[in-house]
Amino acid sequence: MKLRAAIWVICLLVMGIVTVWQISAKHSRIDGDILALIGQESGPENAERFSDINIVRDLLARDARQAIVMVSHGNRNALEAASRDMAQEFRDIAGTNNVSLPGFETGDAQSLYGLYQKHANGLLSQKDRDSLMNSDGQRLFRRALQDLYSPSSMISAQSLGNDPFSLLPGFLSELGGKIGQSGLVQDDNRFATPIIITLSPDVRTNGQEAQWVKQINDVIATRSASDAALHIAKTGQVFFAVSEASHARSDVQRIAIIATIGVIMMVVGVFMSALPLVATLLTVGSGLLAGITALVVVFDSIHAIALVFGASLIGISIDYALHFLVLPKSVGAARARLAHIRPGLRLGLLTTVCGFVALAVTPTVLLAQISLYSISGLIAAYVTVVTILPVLPHRDVRDRSVIRTIYAHIDNALLKVRIPQKQRLAVLACAVIGLITTVYSLPANDDIAALGHGNTALIEDAREISETLGIGGNPQFIRIDGSLVQDRLETGEAVRTALTPIIRDGILGSLFGLSDVIPSIKRQQENRELVAKELEEPFGAKLRASLPVQTPTQHTESDFLEPDPDILGTIPALASLQHGETDIIRLGAVKDADAIRDAIADIGNARLINPRETITAQFAHYRNWATIALAASLIVAGILAIIRYGAYAGLNVLAAPLIAILIAVIGAFALGVTINFFAIMALFLVFAIGADYAIFTSESRHHGQQTEIRFAVFLSLISSILAFGLLATSSVPVVNTIGTIISIGLACAWILSYWMCSIPAQADTTDSR
């Protein structure tokens, strides 16, 4: 037995080394981004066609590296001075990659102007295009003449060669209007400008977000204090993420401290010794270690959600340890005690593993990670119980401990309730019907916005920035699919035409796509024909008579402006507008998404995508698969129980977790808890732990240690409630959901293990009590 324990200890050490090496060498990374893993299973529809969730994830990932600080002041000069100073201070913060001041810098203007000049006669503003289509070239000719002598004109020898009618300034001016607000706006005698900050990619991966945000906040606080007229607002995913993480961390830390102290007090109080505590920690620790090792070996990227739910197997594995530890020395030596509980442990492990296997076969990477973590961890915890715990010195439970005394009263009361076998079956049947009905009728809400705590100040800042500068906010977009880039550009132009009335009505603030920057060849060709027919032909000679130079009038096909990689690479902002065979049109200040959907309904290859809806749908997808896996787990657990205990007793074992799940769902819903993916995952824990309660209680009838085993289940319940139940006090909705469901579910499962499993159906003759 010692040899097996030594071998297992060596295995655990190897696991530890492998895990540390994998993570420290960055072969595996832990990603806390809620978007990092979800939807990874949704591969491209073909080699170049990406799914909605993939595009959403990519766009949000780009946006996540950007933070916007809006500075406003009644005095423009003071605003510029403060903005420039703040920008420099932001640049000096570790983790800042780039800071720009669109209100006071030209950015890519020169390169873009140079890019356009060569293709100017194919680039028309809509206003000029309409003029030419209405055969009103006279106005444009007149304007071209005026521009030759205007003090503010942009003409040069080069521009006159490429754009003799000065059409490009109009195109550029309209482009600015299409894209949105200026970098410096004036509103009610106040000036406002954005400072755009780009974070280094490693800020998130290195966990430096909180520190970075703190330093940004310090700069803002100092500046605000130095000038009362200065108003500063900020927005960006990083601020929301840090705020949410701060709330969750604060809650979880508080709960973890209480839970840890509680569990330690419980174990020490029951055994009056620290040795059982060591045994318990060894069991739980080996489970956690094995789970993480399995993930880092199999996956390149591990999601934090998988780690959190995987770590919840603490509540299951602690059952295994307590199950062994409560057996008194009087039962026999370690080997004999182990022989008593091994069948129950095996069946409990098998039942739980079957449940998590059902989770693994769902087509979702996130659930597969949770499953692998849990299965590996539980097997490791089991192996620790059967190899290491028997070689540790044993300590009996102290009969006079407070917990034991309290337990005795509760146990006595619960044992007085006797439910005949037929009624048990009737209750089970009703529960099955009720559960099925609940699945179909209980309203679920997978909205990701409901998961977090929300930060009123940040939400208000985001609204203010969106209204003032027209940037930030929920990044809705229209996706355009097509194998040919020119088809997509033409579709983009059709989308703009369809949405122009909606923009005019204020339903949509702005839209910006690749076709705004680079019109389709068809559009450029039309423009050239219009220019040739309506300007060159009637006015070209007159214009040239005013100029002492010849200007070219013919353009070849190769002169068309096209979105080739070189151009997209020159202007990084354009790269995010193209994903393989999909182009993106980004929308700003959307007030009525349905109106937009209706307006583009006839444009076959264009669809409105709301990232919030897309991610919410993805979580709904996960919830559905988790529900199916949970149902499959219950069926498998029922079959295993029937095989082990026979039909009636087997169904009784199934009844405990099943009814507990039903009551947990209804109870949580009645308390206002949102039923979502995380709620279903909490039910998985109720199932796994509840099944253990029932199985251990039923097994105890075989080896005659019912009282001790019921006490072990009671201790397990306390530890689980301490570990999870306290989560119900969290202010973070998703944490609260998990805690509430587990609290209700486990309490019910524990009581039901008495009423449905512990007492022989007709005569309780063996129970010592």
Query: Quick count: other Cβ atoms within 10 Å of Cβ 2?
Result: 10
Residues 545-564 that bind other proteins (CB under 8 A): 546-549
Q: Is 90 exposed, middle or buried (0-12, 13-18, 19+ CB in 10 A)?
A: buried
* Interaction between residue 169 and other proteins (CB under 8 A): yes
Write the interaction track for other proteins spanning residues 467-496; mark x where CB under 8 A is met and - where it is not: ----x-------------------------
DSSP string across 212-262: HHHHHHHHHHHHHHH-TT-EEEEE-HHHHHHHHHHHHHHHHHHHHHHHHHH
Q: Which two tokens stand for residue 691?
A: 């099944």
Cα–Cα separations (whole angstroms), residue 758 to 121, 279, 696: 87, 27, 9
* Interaction between residue 154 and other proteins (CB under 8 A): yes
Query: Quick count: other Cβ atoms within 10 Å of Cβ 134?
Result: 10
* Interaction between residue 175 and other proteins (CB under 8 A): yes
How far apart are the C-alpha atoms of 295 and 407, rounded to whole Å?
A: 39
The CA-based dihedral angle spanning residues 242, 246, 247, 250, taken in that order and rounded to the nearest 10 degrees: 170
Cα–Cα separations (whole angstroms), residue 484 to 469, 561, 604, 608: 34, 15, 15, 20
Write the interaction track for other proteins spanning residues 42-81; mark x where CB under 8 A is met and - where it is not: ----------------------------------xx----
Q: Which of 109, 133, 333, 442 binds other proteins (CB under 8 A)?
A: 109
Q: Which of 30, 145, 210, 268 binds other proteins (CB under 8 A)?
A: 145
How far apart are the C-alpha atoms of 140 and 163, rounded to whole Å?
A: 12
Q: Which of 179, 568, 722, 723 binds other proteins (CB under 8 A)?
A: 179
* Interaction between residue 118 and other proteins (CB under 8 A): no
Measured from the CB atom, is 146 or 250 closer to other proteins? 146
* Interaction between residue 151 and other proteins (CB under 8 A): yes
Answer yes or no: are the C-beta atoms of 91 and 215 closer than 8 Å: no
* Interaction between residue 229 and other proteins (CB under 8 A): no
Side-chain half-sphere CA neighbours of 610 within 13 A = 15
CB of 102 to other proteins, least distance (A): 5
CB of 80 to other proteins, least distance (A): 8
How far apart are the C-alpha atoms of 183 and 260, rounded to whole Å?
A: 52
Side-chain half-sphere CA neighbours of 731 within 13 A = 14
CB of 470 to other proteins, least distance (A): 8
Measured from the CB atom, is 122 or 169 closer to other proteins? 169
How far apart are the C-alpha atoms of 617 and 509, rounded to whole Å?
A: 26
Q: Which of 40, 51, 97, 182 binds other proteins (CB under 8 A)?
A: 182
Residues 125-144 that bind other proteins (CB under 8 A): 142
Helix-strand-coil split of the chain, %, nearest 5: 70, 10, 25
* Interaction between residue 567 and other proteins (CB under 8 A): no
Q: Which of 110, 456, 554, 765 binds other proteins (CB under 8 A)?
A: 110
| Binding footprint of other proteins, residue count (CB under 8 A) | 58
Cross-strand pairs, 587: 511
Q: Which of 153, 421, 445, 553 binds other proteins (CB under 8 A)?
A: 153
Show the beta-strand stretches assigned E in 322-374. Answer: none
* Interaction between residue 223 and other proteins (CB under 8 A): no
Q: Which of 100, 126, 200, 624 binds other proteins (CB under 8 A)?
A: 100
Answer yes or no: are the C-beta atoms of 446 and 619 closer than 8 Å: yes
Write the interaction track for other proteins spanning residues 577-616; mark x where CB under 8 A is met and - where it is not: ---------x------------------------------
Measured from the CB atom, is 233 or 270 closer to other proteins? 233
Closest CA to 686 of 744, 639, 622, 767: 744
Q: Which of 113, 231, 498, 607 binds other proteins (CB under 8 A)?
A: 113
* Interaction between residue 514 and other proteins (CB under 8 A): no
Q: Which of 28, 54, 121, 181 binds other proteins (CB under 8 A)?
A: 181
Closest CA to 147 of 115, 116, 169: 169
The Cα angle at residue 188 between residues 184 and 189, in degrees rounded to 5: 70
Measured from the CB atom, is 102 or 285 closer to other proteins? 102
Q: Which of 7, 17, 402, 573 binds other proteins (CB under 8 A)?
A: 573
The Cα angle at residue 517 between residues 516 and 522, in degrees rounded to 5: 70
Measured from the CB atom, is 158 or 260 closer to other proteins? 158
Residues 189-218 that bind other proteins (CB under 8 A): 191, 194, 196
Measured from the CB atom, is 47 or 549 closer to other proteins? 549
* Interaction between residue 184 and other proteins (CB under 8 A): yes
Answer yes or no: are the C-beta atoms of 595 and 507 closer than 8 Å: yes
Interacting residues toward other proteins by CB under 8 A: 76-77, 100, 102-110, 112-113, 142, 145-146, 148-158, 160, 169, 172-177, 179-186, 191, 194, 196, 471, 512, 517, 546-549, 571, 573, 576, 586
